Structure 1
Amino acid sequence: MALILNIETATRNCSVSLAKDGKTLLCKEIAEQNFSHAEKLHVFIEEICNETGVALKDLNAVAVSQGPGSYTGLRIGVSAAKGFCYALSIPLIAVDTLLLLANKIQINEGIVIPMIDARRMEAYTAIYDFNYVKIRETKAEVIDAHSYQDVAEQIHLVGDGAMKFQSLLTDSKFHFYPDIEFPSAHEMSAVSYENYVKGDVVDVAYFEPFYLKDFVLNR
C-alpha cells in the first residue's frame, strides 16, 4: 500500500490530494484571482489528514507539480513538499504540470495541447497523443492565428491559456473545454503512484521547479 500526498500549486489553483495506491481519497482545492497558496496549502493538508484519519508519518511519498507555471506558486509547493520529505525521510516525486492538465480530459483520437497562460501572447504548452504520451517538448510558445496549421489531426485544447486564445484558433479542428482551466492534484494521484512504483523520484536536496521562463517582478 502506498499513501502519497499530492501538491499542485503551479497555477492559481491551490490543490492538494491524498491518494492510496493511485486512487484519490480526498482532494481540496481553490482557485482565486489572487494567489492564496501560502494561506491555504497547509490548511488543506491538515484538513485532509484530519478528515481521512491519515497522519503525516503514514505517508510513503510526497508528489509535487514541477511546472511550468507561476514562479511564486511553484516555490511555495516545492518548498512545502521538500519540507515534508526531509522531516519524514520519504521520497519526493515530481510530476509534469502540463501532463496533469492534459489528463483532465479523455479522448480516443487526435492530440491534446494543454495551455497555461504565460502572459501577453504566450502560453506554456506541450503536445500529447491520446494515450498521454508527450510527442512535443514543453515550451513557452507565442500563439497566433497561424499556430498549429501544420497539424492535420483534431486538436483538444485545455487550460486557461487555451481559453485566452480561443478567438484566434477558429479552425474546426480545434476543440475547447471552458470548464477545464487549471491542473489539479486529483489527476496527480494516478501519475504520482505510477512514478512511485517505478522508483521515479527526484533528489530532495537538488530538485528545482521547472520555471521555463525567468522570473519577472511585476511593477
Structure 2
Amino acid sequence: MALILNIETATRNCSVAVARDGQVLAYREIAEQGYTHAEKLHVFIEEVMQEAGVALTELEATAVSKGPGSYTGLRIGVSAAKGLCYALQKPMLAVDTLAVLAHAVSVESGLIIPMIDARRMEVYAAVYNAAHEEVRGVEAEILTDESFGDYSGPIYFVGDSAEKAKTVLTDVRFQFLESVQFPSAKVMANLAEKQFKKNQFVDVAYFEPFYLKDFMITK
C-alpha cells in the first residue's frame, strides 16, 4: 500500500492529492484565470499532508503530471516533485496529463477525447476507448470541421477547449462533457498507484516534462 503525493499543474488547475493505495486521503485544488501555481503549490502540499496526518518522510513516491500542457505550469510541478524526491530520496512517477483527463469520466461505449487548450484553434489531444485504453497518442492539432471525422460511434470530449471546439465540431455524434475541464490530482492518484506497482519510475535527474511543442516567446 504505497503512500504517494500527486502533483498536477499542467493547466490552470493547481491540484495536489496524497493517496494511499490509490485512495485519496486529502486534496486541494484551485483553477484561477491567472496562473498562481508558484504561490499555491507548496501551501497545498503542506495542507494535504497535515490533513492526511502523514509526514513527508512517510511518502514512498511523488507523482507529477508530465504534460502536455502549460510550459510554466509543468516546470513548476516538475521542479517541486524533483525537489521532494531529492530531499527524501524517493522515486518519482510521471503520469500522462491527457490520460488523467480521460480517466475523469466513464462512458459505456464510444471514444473519449481529452483536449487541452493550446491557444487559437489548436489543442493537445489524444483518443481513448471506453475502457480508457489509448487508441491514438498525443498530438497537437488545429481544430476544423473535419477533425476526428474518421472515428465512428459516439465521441465524448473533455477538457478546457469545449467553447472553441463546439464552433467547428458540430457532428451529432460529438458530445461535450463540460463538467470536466481540467486534469486533477484526485484522478491521477489511481494511475500513479498502478505505475508504482509496475516500478515505472523516471530518472529524477534527467526527467523533463513532455511539452510537445517548443516554448515560444511572443510580444
> What's the TM-score bracket when you normalise by the shorter of the two chains?
over 0.9
Q: Secondary structure at the match of 1:78?
A: helix
Aligned to 1:15: 15
Aligned to 1:105: 105
Distance 1:111 1:124 in 2: 16
Distance 2:56 2:164 in 1: 39
Share of identical aligned residues, percent?
Answer: 57
Aligned to 1:67: 67
Q: Secondary structure at the match of 1:167?
A: coil
Per-residue CA deviations over 1:80-138 (Å, capped at 9, x if unaligned) read: 00000011111100000000000111011001100000001100000011111111110
Q: Give the TM-score of the pair, scaled to structure 1.
A: 0.98
Distance 2:55 2:15 in 1: 19
Q: How far off is 1:74 after superposition?
A: 0.1
Per mean C-alpha deviation after superposition, the further-off stretch among 12-21 and 49-58 is 49-58
Aligned to 1:87: 87
Q: Secondary structure at the match of 2:207?
A: coil
Per mean C-alpha deviation after superposition, the further-off stretch among 143-152 and 117-126 is 143-152
Q: How far off is 1:27 after superposition?
A: 1.2
Residues 1:126 and 2:126 are matched in the alignment: yes
Contact 2:68 2:97 in 1 (8 A): yes
Q: Secondary structure at the match of 1:42?
A: helix
Q: Give the TM-score of the pair, scaled to structure 2.
A: 0.98
Task: Please provide the CA RMSD for this pair.
Answer: 0.8
Aligned to 1:152: 152
Distance 1:101 1:199 in 2: 22
Distance 2:164 2:181 in 1: 10
Go from structure 1 to structure 2 and tell me whether the alpha carbon gap of 1:30 and 1:218 turns closer, same or farther (over 3 Å shift). Answer: farther
Residues 1:183 and 2:170 are matched in the alignment: no
Contact 2:26 2:52 in 1 (8 A): yes
Which amino acid in the other structure matches residue 195 of structure 1?
A: Q
Distance 1:34 1:216 in 2: 19
Name structure 1 gaps, 5 residues minimum. Answer: none
Aligned to 1:52: 52
Q: Secondary structure at the match of 1:203?
A: coil
Q: Secondary structure at the match of 2:161?
A: helix
Q: How far off is 1:34 after superposition?
A: 0.3
- Length, aligned pairs only: 219
